[in-house]
Chains A and B, each alone.
Chain A
Amino acid sequence: MIATGPANQDRVRQICLAYDAQPSALIEILHQVQDEFGFLPKDALVEIADALNISRADIYGVVTFYHDFRRAPLTGIDLKICRAEACQAVGSQKLAEHATTNNYTFTDAYCLGNCALGPAVMIDKKLYGRVDADRLDQLLRQKGE
């Protein structure tokens, strides 16, 4: 899935054209490219700049502004731990420490909108509630299988 080359450049251009190469669709386009490639490869960004007729600098500005976009592949599973107040109140700090101790790679989220069922995590865009250390281990084991 994660490889760049001429074929993928064609795919990036297709995605741009699906949005009529409108510069206003840049964020939608970046989402789709990242969903398909796993991250935003440099040559894909060049291709987008060309297709939308905007500068590479503008694209770089957008990619670096938003927390969602990554310019390198994930090293592990796509795990987000909610670190905002409602989850803090029910132990998300401990959960994050547990994740760190166990070398799970994760990103902080603020917030996942599951504030009555915290601590919340999101794995591959699926939301989980009332996640303690044991449940996190179990969820990641299931994903790893």
Chain B
Amino acid sequence: MMDQSAITLYVPGDSAACSVGADEVAQRISEIAQSKNIHIKLIRNGTRGMFWLEPLVEVQTGQGRLAYGPVTPDDVESLFEVDFLHGKLHELALGLTNEIPYFARQQRLTFARCGITDPLCLVDYENHGGLVGLRKALADTPEQIVETVTQSGLRGRGGAGFPTGIKWKTALEQPAGQKYICANADEGDSGTFADRILMEGDPFCLLEGMVIAGRAVGASIGYIYVRSEYPDAAQTMRRAVDIWRAAKLLGDDIDGSGQAFEIHVRMGAGSYICGEDTSMLESIEGKRGQVKVKPPIPAIDGLFGQPTIINNVLSLASIPIILAKGADFYRDFGQGRSRGTQAFQLGGDIACGGLVETAFGITMRELIEDFGQGSRSGKAIRTVQAGGPLGAYVPVSDFDMQMDYEKMTEAGAMLGHGGLVVFSEGVNMAAQARFAMQFCEIESCGKCTPCRIGSVRGKETLDKIMVGENVEQNLELLDEICELLTKGSLCAMGGLTPMPVQSAIQHFREDFAQQAKE
């Protein structure tokens, strides 16, 4: 082959893509290119979020990036044979990545760069709109930044939905002194993986959001609390912090502005409850992750007793684009009091699982049927658990619910962190209800009695129901336990555990009654 400039190829380095062989595919591509003496530039990008197509290999061509997937190491030889490096057809060819309907139909704001850039290349980051928001923020006053964030309508993407601007305003109003920014990257909800995708695919975006937050409230130290189940994300964030330090985007004088900010990465240790605000702060302080009574709220009295902003990764990662493009730009997406976009995550028994970032207001049916294409197993879908292990089981008849904070609450469900887990026919809903109680038992921090003891009693009661023992009386008792958990727990762990339990009983009563007949 004649000498030519290198062809750019992309194979995701994302841990989910690697969980199905992306590393091996990348290695095979390098080996064959070398043996054929072809110059290639192989970039390990983040994932585009279309997991059923992973490992997704992309080739940069004159028309744009062409996709091939899912590619196994054994396919690589044949890809070279058809000359995929020049965009030739192959049975795995998917056309232009940007035109794959699943991707083309999304509104990528927070994830605009994810899967497109080289995650740890600062030049790539700037070429794709990075640092515009930070530079705007460094020119603005703290009050102006807080006002912009408030006007954007951004609410906490961790699930609580508290207005981010109001939280920031509270911290800004505290007397000057040591304040902190904490990025909550303890993404423990089953069915959610958007924080991980972002941290591995566009880590600088989170750093940019944190530095802006620091500028806005007068904080000079930030912590990223990453769960230990995400070792790759933690590693990427640590490398990203080093790169930013070297580039003077962290330190005593950020980008020559006089603003100081430093970021530390802390790793969790396998505790779900540490995703709760106060518990996470305890953990960062090196203690047992036990929940604390609020008030005082962390924005006033948080980490080491100082004013602290705790925001979810996706809330912070939405800040740069809000600053860069203005509050109105972001606000124009969404509906009602849910403004902007939400990263929905499709998991469980679903054909086309992955990340769908779109404006609030899309229906669950569109997400599950149009994007997700139904179940992976081919069986009929029975239910979707929305919003993590503390979220409701939604029956198919309710799939027309609109996905936003208020509409979902009205429908007896919750948005949470935007995860949707699909279950098909064959699932035993009594067993799922029991699991919810068991999960609460395992993960309870133990501080308050309703959660610590109530979860055990709830599980035991469901055990009796499942063997058909005094089903009616035990369901009544379970209802009382649920009420106690809801009203008496200190935090959302105990407070929301009844949601999956009671929604399962409400919508799938037959699974509980059936046991009684036996």
Binding site for B on A (CB under 8 A): 22-28, 30-31, 58, 61-62, 65-69, 80, 84-90, 109-118, 120, 122, 125-130
A89 and B427 within 8 A (CB): yes
- Residue in contact with A85 in the complex, picked from B191, B196, B270, B288, CB distance below 8 Å: B191
23 contacts between A and B (CB under 8 A): A24-B286, A30-B269, A58-B287, A62-B286, A62-B288, A65-B445, A66-B269, A68-B268, A69-B269, A85-B432, A87-B190, A88-B435, A89-B422, A89-B424, A90-B376, A109-B229, A113-B187, A114-B19, A115-B192, A116-B346, A116-B350, A116-B354, A127-B232
In the assembly, what is the distance between CA of A61 and CA of B432, in Å? 31
B361 part of interface (Cβ distance < 8 Å): no
Residues of the B chain whose Cβ atoms lie less than 8 Å from the Cβ of A86: 190-191, 347-348, 419, 421
The number of A-B residue pairs with CB atoms under 8 Å apart is 151
Closest to A24 in B: B286
What string of 1s and 0s marks CB contacts (under 8 Å) between B83-124 and chain A?
000000000000000000000000000000000000000000
A113 and B230 within 8 A (CB): yes
- Minimum CB–CB distance for B205 against chain A, Å: 18
B19 and A115 within 8 A (CB): no
In the assembly, what is the distance between CA of A24 and CA of B424, in Å? 45
In the assembly, what is the distance between CA of A83 and CA of B369, in Å? 26
Residues of the B chain whose Cβ atoms lie less than 8 Å from the Cβ of A117: 16, 19-20, 51, 54, 353
A116 and B353 within 8 A (CB): yes
In the assembly, what is the distance between CA of A30 and CA of B267, in Å? 11
Residues of the B chain whose Cβ atoms lie less than 8 Å from the Cβ of A90: 348-349, 376-377
- Minimum CB–CB distance for B36 against chain A, Å: 28
B19 and A85 within 8 A (CB): no
In the assembly, what is the distance between CA of A127 and CA of B190, in Å? 15
A66 and B421 within 8 A (CB): no
Known: A31-B228, A115-B353. 7 other contacts (CB 8 A): A28-B267, A65-B290, A66-B269, A68-B269, A85-B421, A111-B191, A113-B193
Closest to B385 in A: A85
Residues of the B chain whose Cβ atoms lie less than 8 Å from the Cβ of A130: 19-20
Closest to A121 in B: B19
Residues of the A chain whose Cβ atoms lie less than 8 Å from the Cβ of B18: 126-127
B423 and A116 within 8 A (CB): no
What string of 1s and 0s marks CB contacts (under 8 Å) between B14-43 and chain A?
011011100000000000000000000000
Q: Which of B344-361 contact A (CB under 8 A)?
A: 345-350, 353-354
Please tell me the number of chain B residues within 8 Å of chain A, measured between CB atoms. 61
Residues of the B chain whose Cβ atoms lie less than 8 Å from the Cβ of A127: 15-16, 18-19, 232
B272 part of interface (Cβ distance < 8 Å): yes
- Minimum CB–CB distance for A119 against chain B, Å: 11
In the assembly, what is the distance between CA of A127 and CA of B350, in Å? 20
A115 and B270 within 8 A (CB): no
Residues of the B chain whose Cβ atoms lie less than 8 Å from the Cβ of A113: 16, 187, 192-193, 196, 229-230
B285 part of interface (Cβ distance < 8 Å): yes
A116 and B389 within 8 A (CB): no
In the assembly, what is the distance between CA of A65 and CA of B54, in Å? 36
B421 and A89 within 8 A (CB): yes
B271 and A65 within 8 A (CB): yes
In the assembly, what is the distance between CA of A86 and CA of B16, in Å? 14
A26 and B286 within 8 A (CB): yes
B231 part of interface (Cβ distance < 8 Å): yes
- Minimum CB–CB distance for B504 against chain A, Å: 12
Residues of the B chain whose Cβ atoms lie less than 8 Å from the Cβ of A129: 16, 19-20
In the assembly, what is the distance between CA of A33 and CA of B270, in Å? 16
- Residue in contact with A115 in the complex, picked from B269, B347, B432, B443, CB distance below 8 Å: B347
What string of 1s and 0s marks CB contacts (under 8 Å) between B363-385 and chain A?
00000000000001100000001
In the assembly, what is the distance between CA of A116 and CA of B347, in Å? 4
Q: Which of B229-268 contact A (CB under 8 A)?
A: 229-232, 266-268
- Minimum CB–CB distance for B234 against chain A, Å: 10
- Minimum CB–CB distance for B103 against chain A, Å: 15
A68 and B270 within 8 A (CB): yes
- Residue in contact with A31 in the complex, picked from B191, B196, B232, B269, CB distance below 8 Å: B269
Answer whether A110 and B272 are a contact pair too, CB < 8 Å, given A115-B419, A117-B20: yes
- Minimum CB–CB distance for A39 against chain B, Å: 14
B439 part of interface (Cβ distance < 8 Å): yes
In the assembly, what is the distance between CA of A114 and CA of B423, in Å? 16
In the assembly, what is the distance between CA of A65 and CA of B283, in Å? 10
In the assembly, what is the distance between CA of A125 and CA of B45, in Å? 21
Residues of the A chain whose Cβ atoms lie less than 8 Å from the Cβ of B228: 31, 68
In the assembly, what is the distance between CA of A109 and CA of B268, in Å? 14
A118 and B229 within 8 A (CB): no
In the assembly, what is the distance between CA of A26 and CA of B439, in Å? 26
Q: Which of B400-439 contact A (CB under 8 A)?
A: 419, 421-424, 427, 432, 435, 439
- B196, B272, B353 — most chain A CB neighbours (10 Å): B353
Answer whether A27 and B190 are a contact pair too, CB < 8 Å, given A86-B348, A127-B15: no
- Minimum CB–CB distance for A34 against chain B, Å: 9
- Minimum CB–CB distance for A105 against chain B, Å: 17
What string of 1s and 0s marks CB contacts (under 8 Å) between B72-88 and chain A?
00000000000000000
- B232, B269, B286, B348 — most chain A CB neighbours (10 Å): B286
In the assembly, what is the distance between CA of A74 and CA of B20, in Å? 26
- Residue in contact with B188 in the complex, picked from A28, A68, A110, CB distance below 8 Å: A110
Q: 7 nearest interchain CB pairs?
A: A116-B353, A115-B347, A84-B190, A26-B286, A66-B269, A89-B348, A67-B270
B181 part of interface (Cβ distance < 8 Å): no
B52 part of interface (Cβ distance < 8 Å): yes
- Residue in contact with A66 in the complex, picked from B266, B271, B422, B424, CB distance below 8 Å: B271
In the assembly, what is the distance between CA of A119 and CA of B271, in Å? 21
B269 and A118 within 8 A (CB): no
A31 and B267 within 8 A (CB): yes
